[in-house]
Chains A and B, each alone.
Chain A
Amino acid sequence: MSIKFEKVSYTYFPGSPLEKKGLDNVSFKIKEGQFIAIIGHTGSGKSTLMQHFNALLKPSKGRIEIAGQTILPTTSNKNLKELRKHVSLVFQFPEAQLFENTVLDDIAFGPKNFGYSEQKAKEKAWTWLTRVGLPKSVANRSPFDLSGGQMRQVAIAGVMAYEPDILCLDEPAAGLDPRARKQMMGLFSKYQQEGHTVILVTHNMDDVANYANDVLVMESGKLIKHARPAEVFKDRSWLKEHYIEEPKASLFASKLTNFTFSNTPLTIKELVKGIENNLKE
């Protein structure tokens, strides 16, 4: 199955003086089961695009096919639960969505809503509590007593606990320390390898290089590039023109003027390999 956008446009406050185009004629097709990155600078429409994946926003024009369902401008707001069970969204700073008395109850909220029994929901909650890297001892504490980073983990566990086929994340690692970031990205990567689709909005090009196999580049509501990371980061002048950073490895490689690389290295691994090859010669 694949996710398909056909000429999707979205306008905020249509017909009012505050009218604003959020998406402008966006079309693409992505295969499920991949790790997809959405990049683009502030205000380019990434979050707007994200909210279309589970119909929190519906296109003003165009059509979307996702998880076997079709979303049209006329799609009714009722009966979207089935879609949302399969396609779930983690917003920026998701720690703001916690509300239950205990961490475990909060994680079990989603599964219960989507029809898991009390028992099964609790089970799932335990599983994901540990999978996101929280100690078992926090299970019965109030989520509001935790640190910011831990609250984030609880919130993410709360979405992953019902194991959506398509997991969309809006800058989930923003503001985390490098270790927590790496741990979290590892979690998403593993989730994808287990057969799910992960869609990640990010400003971190190293994450794109390390984990993504498909990249959507947004600019002022338009999709300006849809390609594999190697393709996206290949053209240095294009990147400059669109104010997109390079991954650290490729930046490093570009400073090594005496070395030649057959392919621009995107990850540290590739960089090391490239340097080794150069030294051998």
Chain B
Amino acid sequence: MSKILIGRYVPGNSLVYKMDPRGKLLVTILFIFIIFLANNWVTYAIITIFSFLAVAATKLKAKVFWDGVKPLIWLILFTSVLQLFFTTGGQIYWNWIIFTISSYGITNAIYIFIRFTLIILISTVMTVTTMPLEIADAMEWILTPLKYVKVPIDKIALVMSIALRFVPTLFDETLKIMNAQRSRGADFNNGGLIKRAKAITPLLVPLFINSLETAVDLSTAMESRGYRDGANRTRYRILKWSKYDLYELAYFIILVLLLLVFRTK
């Protein structure tokens, strides 16, 4: 059993955790589209409030979400600044060669900032409340229609779940081997590029060998339990819709309706 976080899942049991991963994934994807319905202050305010309520519904610490936004904060700021300087229109406040600060630029920059941040927040809500394996199941479900154009969804899903399952194992293993080699005087943190590249051999070789062994063991175990390619199989984790998904759907529909009503035509 591994204790390492995979993906960004954070254990909890609020309302959002009880929702079906398929619903969460779908709504998250749709959210990225419907955010473009917002085009004035009122609609941006509405979607911001709705998003923050969703964040609050997870009952997780704000830090979890800040950790989601933090790595992208520079990208968000950079994009906003570009908008600020390169959008023209409305009242012009300042101009220098090709840079302009205009009233349109200012509102656009703020809009972009909000849009970006909200998309990250909402995806964070999904990734922190849904286990990676559930996300994989949900993706498989969403991709099911592709079966009819002969895309091997089952196989892709199997590969995906196995990969996800072994990420923490691999992580544990890496840490263990690193510590073992550190005890033998290996140094992974100091030295130039070549020295560091060299230092990584004692880590990579055992890791590869271990992974290959694990893979062989896994395939033997699967075969000995009668796993066959292409057979119709039942599921261990059965996804079920519940009343919480209805709440989610209702919440989403209300948001869309409000946006449609208040957006500038």
Contacts and interface: CB of A to CB of B under 8 A. Distances in A.
Q: Do A and B bind each other?
A: yes
A113 B3 contact: no
Interface string B181-204: 111111101100000000001100
B184 A97 contact: yes
A91 B183 CA distance: 9
B205 A99 contact: yes
B206 A88 contact: no
A159 B206 contact: no
A164 to B, nearest CB: 9
Nearest to B182: A56
A162 B182 CA distance: 14
Contact of B180 (A13, A18, A91): A91
B254 interface: no
Contacts of B11: 17-18
A102 B16 CA distance: 54
Contact of A110 (B63, B185, B189, B190): B185
A51 to B, nearest CB: 7
A12 interface: yes
15 contacts: A12-B3, A13-B3, A17-B10, A18-B3, A18-B5, A18-B11, A54-B183, A81-B185, A91-B179, A91-B180, A96-B180, A96-B210, A97-B180, A97-B206, A113-B185
Q: Which 8 A-B pairs have the closest CB atoms?
A: A113-B185, A99-B205, A110-B184, A97-B180, A89-B183, A114-B185, A99-B202, A56-B179
Contacts of B184: 88, 97, 109-110, 113, 158-159
Given A18-B3, A85-B185, A99-B202, A94 B209 contact: no
B177 interface: yes
A113 B182 CA distance: 10
B12 A56 contact: no
B190 A78 contact: yes
Interface of A: 12-13, 15-18, 20, 51, 54, 56, 77-78, 81, 84-85, 88-91, 94, 96-99, 109-110, 113-114, 144, 158-159, 162
Nearest to B176: A91
A144 B12 CA distance: 44
Contacts of B206: 96-99
Nearest to B186: A113
A98 B3 CA distance: 25
B170 to A, nearest CB: 13
B34 to A, nearest CB: 31
A96 B173 CA distance: 9
Nearest to B190: A78
A65 to B, nearest CB: 19
Contacts of B179: 51, 56, 89, 91
